[in-house]
Amino acid sequence: MEQYHAQLDGVFQALADPTRRAVLGRLGQGPASISELARPFGMALPSFMKHIHLLEESGWIRTHKEGRVRTCAIETRAFVTVQAWLSEQRALWEGRTDRLEHFVIQTKDQPR
């Protein structure tokens, strides 16, 4: 369970930065090279690479190198992790709101 929470922390930490979210948005259109991804951000390549490494370590992307070009692509593992967590949260909160609705209906029907 602790590994699951550590994985979630990494996945959400990666989403906390607007640069990384923009990279993921671009990769949603298809694979791209590091230089293509870095172009809109106007930052030094070593700084941009820190974002790429964090995205890769957290499971959002995978990279592969052909010759001198490193290409990035979306990885589905992080999406599965987030979807599982969101499903758990949805079930938890739906259960709570269902109990609240039941309580309100019971209270409303009781004479005062």
For strands 69-74 and 32-33, give the pairing: antiparallel
Q: What span, in angstroms and rounded, lies between the C-alpha atoms of 7 and 67?
A: 32
Produce one character per residue of 80-98: b if its CB has 16 or more CB atoms within 10 Å, e if not: ebbeebeeeeeeeeeeeee
Q: Is the pTM of this model over 0.85?
A: no
Residue-wise pLDDT for 27-39, tens only, equals 999 999 999 999 9
Question: CATH 2.40.50.180: does it fit domain 2-109?
Answer: no
pLDDT confidence of residue 76:
87
> Is the model more confident about 70 or about 9?
70
**Residue linked to tokens 């259960």:** 95
Sheet holding 61-66, edge to edge: 32-33, 69-74, 61-66
For 45-88, how does the pLDDT look when each residue is reduced to its tens digit (9 = 90+)?
999 999 999 999 999 999 999 999 999 999 988 888 888 888 98
For residue 84, give Cα distances in angstroms to 20, 70, 77, 91: 21, 31, 11, 11
What number of other Cβ atoms are within 10 A of residue 64's Cβ? 10
> Does the pLDDT at position 112 exceed 70?
no
Instruction: Domain ranges for the chain, please list them.
Output: 2-109
Q: Is 70 exceeded by the pLDDT of residue 107? A: yes
